[in-house]
Amino acid sequence: MIAQGEQLVFKGFRHSRRSGFTLVELLASMTIMIILMGAMTSTMLIASHAIPRSEDPAQKKLAAMDVVDQIAGELFYATSITEETEFAVTFTVADRGHGSIGPELIRYEWSGTPGDPLTRQYNGGTVVTLCETVESFSLEYDKGVTELVGPPAVLLLIRNVASLDAEETARRAVFESWGFPVQVISPSELPALFDAALARCDVLYVPPTVTMIAMAPLPNNVPVGMVVANNLVYGHCGISSNAFSYVGEGIEIADNTHPITLGYPPGTLTVCSSSQRIAAASMAGLAPGARLLAFETDNEGGDLVSLLTIEIGQPLSTGEAANGRRVSLPSGDTQFIFNSLNAAGLQLERRAIVWAAAPVVYAGVRIRVQPTGSSVSAAETATRILNMPKVNAP
């Protein structure tokens, strides 16, 4: 029992609660937080430097690559090209379901002035800027030929549409007898009518009745095949700067692997039923890209070429690259009588027209864009054109 006045003391554990951190713990925590925040700041600073800025050459190059890829991607599907310059291209693509009905018209352009923008226009609408400031932009067009389908349409250049002379009439009659559609045109009707007529034809035939003065307004490097039976205009057409002729009945075949001379044995080939003045070009001043098929028959030094071809893209005597195939024929002297050609001579004429008439097409385009500020930011690519649209199509 507990006596009166005594106190009862219970022994055991005493419980208590802590309401915060000690000073030491707070100091330690703050130190750790400062270290972590410093590390995070350094990481963010390093990462910010790794992000490309709009003025960085690498960022500009990426943007330029996007631009050339976009242009190439659309040109790949071009069905026609209506404008081709170094700084601009206008073309159509098939309806892609973008809201328009029928072919879609696309145009890319740069003014040619450094610092100006590169733009795109769709179906004649708003001009949209693709690259704000461009140091340089260039387009280079690769052209080739494709197989001719059907008989070649011939544009026969004559002196006077209202009155064909005997030689012009004879050539036209022979061409039409082969099933070749023939359209005649005079240099006096140039340039608008000539351009329209040329767009409807496959080959331009220049007979010896057209003078150099009359030929002068003509473009000397038309974008179609050209058969030149006129030694007076060799210089204008880029065949040779020196033209001659010789009297004879034949030519000396030197290359019988070309489609025009294929199958003829090397040596003399009689092409006329009587002696004629046969047109020839001198080796001096000849187009660098010429392929020599036949020479003069007497072969005095072998310096007169009576039959030659120039493939598209090869250099002419004018220094330009040929925009279409070129053929120079023996029947190109003003005194040559066309009806004197025998079967072999006529076959050469026919083969020359067919070979030269192969349609000239766009095979590809090389594209280069350099944004302003850095040469290393330039981007370029090349694309082929799937549909190979015809050059100078109407």
Amino acid in position 19: S
User: Which domain range does residue 115 map to?
Assistant: 57-145+362-384
- Judge if 331 and 372 occupy the same domain: no
Task: Report the pLDDT value the prediction gives residue 25, as an integer from 0 to 100.
Answer: 66
Same domain, 288 and 218: yes
Specify whether 109 is located in the same domain as 197. no
User: Does the residue 20 lie in any domain?
Assistant: no
CA distance 141 to 129: 23
Q: What is the pLDDT of residue 333?
A: 95
Neighbours of 13 (CB within 10 A): 4
Instruction: Using a pLDDT cut of 70, give the percent of the chain over it.
Output: 87
The answer as to whether 207 is a domain residue is yes
Same-domain status, 136 and 178: no
CA-to-CA dists, residue 177 to 84, 204, 350, 356, angstroms: 37, 18, 11, 19
Q: Backbone dihedral region of 179: left (phi > 0), alpha (psi from -120 to 50 degrees) or beta?
A: left
How do residues 288-311 score in pLDDT, each as one tens digit?
999 999 999 765 556 899 999 999
Give domain status of residue 26, yes or no.
no
Query: Does any domain span residue 14?
Result: no
Residues 217 and 107 occupy one common structural domain: no
Mean pLDDT of 343-363: 96
CB 49 within 8 A of CB 58: no
Domain shared by 224 and 321, yes or no? yes
Least confident of 11-25, 349-363, 377-391: 11-25
Say which DSSP state 189 is in.
G
- At 13 the pLDDT is 43
Lowest mean pLDDT among 24-38, 227-241, 330-344: 24-38
Token digits of residue 251: 């030519």
Tokens coding 59: 């960022």
pLDDT at position 377 is: 85
Q: Flag whether 232 is in a domain.
A: yes
Q: Are residues 137 and 245 in the same domain?
A: no
Contacts within 8 Å (CB) and 24+ apart, 80-85: 80/389, 80/390, 80/393, 81/141, 81/362, 81/389, 81/391, 83/107, 84/139, 84/141, 84/362, 85/139
Q: Are residues 288 and 368 in the same domain?
A: no
Q: Would you call 248 helix, strand, or coil by DSSP?
A: strand
Q: Looking at the structure, do residues 240 and 133 belong to the same domain, yes or no?
A: no
Asked if residue 183 belongs to a domain, the reply is yes
Of the two residues 81 and 376, the one the predictor is more confident about is 81
Which carries the bigger pLDDT value, residue 4 or residue 275? 275
DSSP of 264-293, one letter per residue?
PPSEEEE-BSS-EEEEEEESTTB-TTEEEE
The answer to the question of residue 134 being in a domain is yes
Average pLDDT of the chain? 87
Q: How far apart are CA 318 and CA 26, in angstroms?
A: 90
Averaged pLDDT for residues 6-22: 51
Q: Residue 309 maps to which CATH number?
A: 3.40.50.880
Whether residue 64 is found in the same domain as residue 203: no
At 108, the pLDDT band (50, 70, 90 cuts) reads very high
Report the domain count for the chain.
Answer: 2
Distance between CA atoms of residues 252 and 275, nearest Å: 15
Which candidate, 293, 171, 306, 178, places its Cα nearest to that of 243? 306
> Are 102 and 166 in a shared domain?
no
Residue 371 pLDDT > 60, yes or no? yes
198 and 278 in a single domain? The answer is yes
pLDDT for the residue 393: 72
39 in any annotated domain? no
CA distances to 172, 252, 271, 274, 293 from 277, rounded to whole Å, are 21, 15, 12, 10, 18
> How many whole angstroms separate alpha carbon 133 and alpha carbon 126?
19
Q: How many residues does the chain have?
A: 394
